Structure formats: C-alpha cells, structure tokens
Chain A
Amino acid sequence: MNWSLIISNALYSAIGVNAIGFALAAAGLNVHFGYTGLLNFGQAGFLLIGAYSVAIPVSEWGWNLFATIPVVIVMATVFALLLGIPTLRLRSDYLAIVTIAAAEILRLLVSTPRWTGFTGGTDGINSFTKDFRNSVPFSRDRFFLWKQPLTNYDLWIIIVGWFLVAVAGVFVWALIRSPWGRVLRSIREDEDAARSLGKNVFSYKMISLVIGGVIGAFGGVVLAIGNQTANPITFRTELTFFAYAILVLGGVGKVRGPIIGSIIFWFVISFTEGFLKNATDVGGWKLPGWLVDENNYGFIRFMLVGLGLVLLVVFRPQGIFGNRKEQAFDVK
C-alpha cells in the first residue's frame, strides 16, 4: 500500500479540475436552491452549455478560445430563460422535473450520431484548447504536488479555475448581502409574503436562475478546458446529483459551502479509489476477492456518495458550515 502516493493523489484531486468544476456547479446550485429555493435538477445542462459553447465555436469556426466567453454567458442565459418561463410560476417539483428533462434533452442532442461533424457525437470535441495552452505563463513543464506530478497546463487551469471560483464566491457573497439578495432569501422563506410586499417574485426567481446557471456554465468551461474534451458522458444526470451532495456536505446557503464541500468530496472520492485500487491489486495486502476485486472496486466510491447524501440529509442537514436556524432546505 503506497500511502504517500494515495494521499498526494487525493490532495491533487481535492484542488484539481473536477473539484473546481463541481465547486462552480454547486455554487450555481447554491444560488438556485440555497438562496432562492429553486429545485434545479438540470445543472448538468448548464455545464454542458458552458463546455460546448467554448468547444464548438473554436473547433468549428476557428474562434479564439477566449473570445467564446460571451457566448457561454449568452447561451446559459438563453437556456435559463427557456427553462424558467414555463416553470417558475408552477410548484417547485415541476421545475425539478422540467430541468432534469431539459438537461437530458441537451445531452441526447449532443450525443446523437446525426450531427457528429458539429458536436462530435459520443466522442465529443477534443481539439479546442490550443489558445489556452499558448497562454500558459510557466516555462517549466513539470511540477509536483508532493508525489503527484502535474504539467504546466494542469497548474495553469487550476490557478485560473480557482480564480474563477473566488470571483464567483465574492460575487455571490456581495449579491446576497445586497437588498436584492435579501428579497431573494425572503422568497425562499415565504414566497407569498414577498409577493404581498409588492416584489415581482417571478423576475427575482428568473434572475436567480440565470445567475446560478451562468456560474454553473463556467464550471462546464473549466471541466472542458481542464480535461481537454467536451464530452456528453461528463454531463449525465449524476453530475447534478453529485453537485447536490457537495452542496449539502459543505452547507446549503453558505458561500463557502460548495467550495469546501467540493474539496472534501473529491478528496474522499480519490482517496477511496486509491485505497481500493491498492487493496485489490496484485501483491501485498489484499481485500478478499469475493468482496471486491480489481474490476468492480470503482463503483464503491459512488455507493459511498449515495450513502453519504442520505446520512447527511437525515442527521446533519446543515452540512459542515450550515446554520440550522437559517436552513435553506425545505422549499414550500
């Protein structure tokens, strides 16, 4: 069992591309669910929009990668409007079902072999990161996080990614402290009260959906650039559910909740995987083969996610940082 490698691997995951992408996804969900009480189960769709809004213009029309940022914002806004207009006036579970359906429609549309030339089908789009590679400011090409090697490209996307997370965090923090944010939270607590004070609840919810969606879309951008692929497999419904697990873990309705949640989540996932991989490999101490072997150990960490989500919601719904008094959990 190579503990130092397992732990440095897990540490790398905790700050790596996945942690950043999911932190942004969960931060967007936090705006929707934590502050407004919107049950958005289609966050994966926003991330998909982000990833493909970068990948398609670059690979199809030869745009500069950095010029696609406005496209990301516009496309995520359009998607949010399309989702919100039919559903935001309805009860919260309608929004849940429609968002999950819309995200799935998007995923089916980009994976169909029909438009492979445009979307890459199930293989996705893989060659669009040249501009980002050219922007890497480090001349050395190999770095180490303890025993974990990483390239200058990895390091650069991690720095840029965490900068984005910080910007999103400060933005959400300022927004929620503002009078506008107070109205948002009052909608979460009692929609009818907010409405009776003359607030246009629909438009507040709509703007919240857009803001959280755009933040999530940037999560998709980081995932796509960091993994150097925009691939439909990444954006399955599970992504949204894992983002919820991260949000609940860190604390719903707290700015730092999704960030710390994502770091812990990916540390645990990567640690479990490293441990089980070592414990089922040839040589040394091994777990019994009837229990788990090298072919199926990979599923255990996701079972843990499910179990963890259940236990958290039942026993510690405020997560690590949440406050039980102001617990942004139960949408009416």
Chain B
Amino acid sequence: MTIRIRHLVAALVTFVALAGALWMPAHADDIIIKVRVQNTPEGGGKKQPVEGVTVTVFDAAGTEIATDVTDAKGVVDLAVPTDGTYTVKLDQDSLPDGIGLREGETGERSVTPTQGLGGNANFNLGAAGPEAKSKLDLLPQALLNGVRFGLVIAIMSVGLSLIYATTGLSNFAHAETVTMGAVVTWTVDDHLRIFHSTTGIQAFLQLGFTALFGIAATATFSGLLETGVWRPMRRRRIGLTSMMIVSIGIAIFVRFFIQFRFGDQPKSYREFSSQKNLSWLPATPRDLFAAGVSLLMLGGVAYMLMRTRTGKAIRAVSDNPELSSSTGINTDRIILFVWVLGGGLAGLSGVLFGLDEQVQWNMGSRLLLLMFAAITLGGLGRPFGALVGSLVVGLMVQLWAWLFSGYADLKNVGALLALILILLVRPQGILGRKERVG
C-alpha cells in the first residue's frame, strides 16, 4: 500500500486538533429577536416576505444595539445581550419599490425578549405611499452589493481555480474549507478576547487577530490533505474522477462534523453587529473593510502569479506538469504551495462572508455552486478568469434580486442559468482556451 497512512493519520489528527477548538463550550448565547417583514400585495392575496429591509434594534436608553437586513424569507435575527425592553425600528428608506408602511403603522415595535425564548416582532406592510423609492434609486446599492459579493466569491474561487489548474481536481471540499475558516474564527473569537469593544478600530484588530487562527487552520488542513491524501493518490496514478469523489467524501465528512460540533443554528461575530451606512456610500465601514481586504488579497495573488518565481512556476505547472518538472521545478512543492494558499484564501473568505451574513455550517456549501459557476464562466483553470467570473456571478445574483425584487429568493437561479447558457455558446468560458472543448 503506497498511500502514506502516516500522512493520512497526521491530517486527521491535525484536523481533529484544530476542530477540537469547537469542543469548547460556547458562551451564553445572545438573546435573539426574530423580526419578520411581510407585505400584503395590492388587492389582497397571500402575504409575501420582503427581502433586504434594514431593521435596527435600540435599547431602552435609545442606544443602537444591532442592525441587519432581512433575508429571502423576510426574516432577520437580531442579537441583544440581556433581557429587557427594546425597540425594533424598520428603516423606511430600505423598503423595496412599491412597498410602504400602512396607515397607522409607525415602523416601530416594542419587544421584551427573554433568555431562552427570545422575542418576536412582525411588520405587515402594504402598497407604497408616495414617498417610496424608485427602482433606479436602488441600483447603486445593488451594484455595490454585487461587487462586494463577487469579491468574496473571487477569493474562494481563485484558490479553487489554482488547485484545478495545477492538479486538474474539481475540489468539492473547498466549500467546507470556507466554512471551517469562519467557524474556527468564530470559536476563537468567542473565547480569546484581546479587545472587548465590538466597534471601531479595536474590533478590526480583534477580528483580524482571531481570523489568523481560522486562516492558519484552513491552510494547514488544506496542506495536510495534499500531503496525506492527494499526493499519494497522484503517485498511485488514481484518476481524477476518483479524486473528485474522494473530495466529495471529505466534504460530507467535514460538513457534518461542523454541524455535529458547531450546531446548525447560525451565529454572528460579535464585532460590527451594529453598523450604519456611510453618508456618501450605501455601505457600512464593515463592508468597506471586507472589500478592501478582498482587493488587497486578490492583488497580492495576481502580483505573485505574474511577477514572482513561485508564481511563474505555478503557471508552468498548470500549463504542463511533466515539462515543468523536467525543467527542474519541484512540482510537488508547487502543488503543496497552491493547496496551502488556496486553503488560506478560503479561510479568509469564510471570515469575510461570515461578517457579511452569518456563520453557519452550510455557508460554504451554499456558495459552492456559485464558485463552480464563477470558475467555469471564467474558463476552467484560469485564475484571472475566476476573478472575472466571480464578479459576473456576484453582479448577476444581486442584479437579479434588484430587477425581479418579487423573485429575490430565486436569485441564485439566475447565475446558474447563465452558467448553462454561456456553456452553450462559449463552452471554454470567458477567458478560457479553446482547445479544452470537444
């Protein structure tokens, strides 16, 4: 048996050790106020959820505690630290076109949540008043969301694409690497606090510090999988299809392991749970921070690929592994580097996506298809194609939600349909090489 059981065991042990962090008991959970925003269409009919409405909760003293945006089900969970009476306020400017407050509706609810039970606030809206926003006014917001979402997907898919380029493997476990980054970071953040403030520069430092643990965990996990599983499989000349199925097995194992230890309830980072949009841009400082980090990382990867010796070696290996090996490039080391890099990027993107939405066991697997769509759109095995493809996918998803606001829960369908359509007319993807087809 040429497979190196030693490495396999090492990978498993390290995985268990890293994920062992998850065994630590979580702190007392925040109390959750569940806010539901629904709309009765003009002329009556079934209530429909309203997505994308900003809801803010204030404590008795009028201090803002948390704010977030309703999801496709029209629901948003807001966390408050203690029992007490809170005010939940609906941001009227964030209501979609054609939907407004009914007569007598103030857009405010008083809620008294308790530990264990949480609290509820329901808003039922009606047809718009005259002050409703026009669709066009919401376009900048949709574009910005699209770019932001696209950048997060880009960090994940650049790694996935580099792995594909150098090894030929469509790595289904990449999604779980993303989740692992977010989950490990959340757990460390829950226990290890250097700065206690959850806003301002301290929050950035605290989150940045704990994110290092998440990134280290995913990079190590990814690297150990390469030395423990993928490299031995390549040595045994096991084909790519088998490897793809093994990656599915790993994905299933890790996904349910996370569910097993982390639970299936979504959790939020304590940092930046309440942020307001900037005056000059429909985005919060948190969003800017996330987008800035993404851009920096992508720029770094691009520079590395184009300018450094390692980058050139990566490109050589992805062009032709045998030839590059015979010119003296240590193929195995390059591939290991790519796995570690891809794993680290996935971990980082998990943290950023967790900031954007919530940390949950399936946050990565929900994005896996969009990642594949992005790298296929850009051309399989082209890292820069993955970047372009990700932005296209991100914009497509958010513009769909903007254009067909009544069908926002189907926004991923748009991106997936586009994937199928583009394969029909340009199978090699946007930046792909033609020779792959046939």
Interface residues of A, Cβ cutoff 8 Å to B: 39, 86-87, 89-94, 96-98, 100-102, 104-105, 108-109, 112-114, 116, 237-238, 241, 244-245, 248, 290, 292, 296, 299-300, 302-303, 305-310, 313-315, 317, 329-331
Contacts and interface: CB of A to CB of B under 8 A. Distances in A.
A306 B253 contact: yes
Contacts of B241: 39, 92, 329-331
Nearest to A308: B249
A86 B372 contact: no
Given A108-B409, A303-B252, A306-B248, 14 more contacts: A90-B423, A94-B376, A112-B409, A244-B245, A244-B248, A245-B249, A290-B23, A299-B259, A303-B256, A306-B256, A309-B245, A309-B248, A314-B229, A329-B241
A329 B1 CA distance: 19
A315 B233 CA distance: 10
Contact of B256 (A86, A87, A299): A299
B407 A97 contact: no
B253 A109 contact: no
Contacts, number: 139
B427 interface: yes
B437 interface: yes
A307 B376 contact: no
Given A94-B376, A241-B248, A309-B249, A101 B369 contact: yes
Given A94-B376, A113-B48, A306-B253, A105 B416 contact: yes
B431 interface: no
Nearest to A295: B263
B252 A306 contact: yes
A313 B252 contact: no
A279 B424 CA distance: 53
B242 A317 contact: yes
B417 interface: yes
B289 interface: no
Nearest to B380: A93
Contacts of A302: 252, 256
Contact of B372 (A89, A92, A97, A116): A97
A86 B437 CA distance: 12
Interface in B242-267: 242, 244-246, 248-257, 259-261, 263
A149 B55 CA distance: 51
Contact of B412 (A108, A244, A248): A108
Contact of A248 (B23, B239, B244, B245): B245
Nearest to A104: B369
B50 to A, nearest CB: 12
B438 interface: yes
Interface residues of B, number: 53
Interface in B201-217: none
Contacts of A91: 436-437
Given A98-B419, A101-B416, A330 B239 contact: yes
A108 B260 contact: no
A310 B246 contact: yes
7 contacts: A87-B423, A116-B46, A248-B245, A296-B261, A303-B252, A309-B249, A314-B233
A313 B376 contact: no
A276 B251 CA distance: 23
B369 A310 contact: no
Contacts of A307: 249, 253
Nearest to A290: B23
A248 B260 CA distance: 25
B188 to A, nearest CB: 19
A241 B252 contact: yes
B200 to A, nearest CB: 37
B306 interface: no
Contact of A109 (B48, B263, B413, B438): B413
B170 interface: yes
Given A94-B376, A296-B260, A303 B253 contact: yes
Contacts of B380: 93
Name the 8 nearest CB pairs between A and B, nearest first: A330-B239, A306-B253, A306-B252, A309-B249, A310-B249, A299-B260, A302-B256, A101-B416
* Residue from B249, B373, B410 with most neighbouring chain A CB atoms (10 Å): B249
A302 B273 CA distance: 33
Contacts of B244: 39, 93, 96
B437 A90 contact: yes
B46 A101 contact: no
A185 B380 CA distance: 28
Contacts of B372: 97, 100-101
A296 B249 contact: no
B138 interface: no
Q: Which of B254, B260, B365, B412 has the most CB of A within 10 A?
A: B260
Q: Which of B376, B420, B437 has most A Cβ within 10 Å? A: B420
A306 B249 contact: yes
Given A112-B407, A313-B242, A93 B260 contact: no
B3 interface: yes
Nearest to A312: B249
Given A299-B259, A329-B241, A105 B424 contact: no
B146 interface: no
Contact of A86 (B48, B49, B412, B420): B420
Contact of B250 (A237, A299, A306): A306
Interface in B382-438: 406-407, 409-410, 412-413, 416-417, 419-420, 423-424, 427, 436-438
Query: Which of A89, A94, A241 has the most chain B CB atoms closer than 10 A to its own CB?
Result: A94
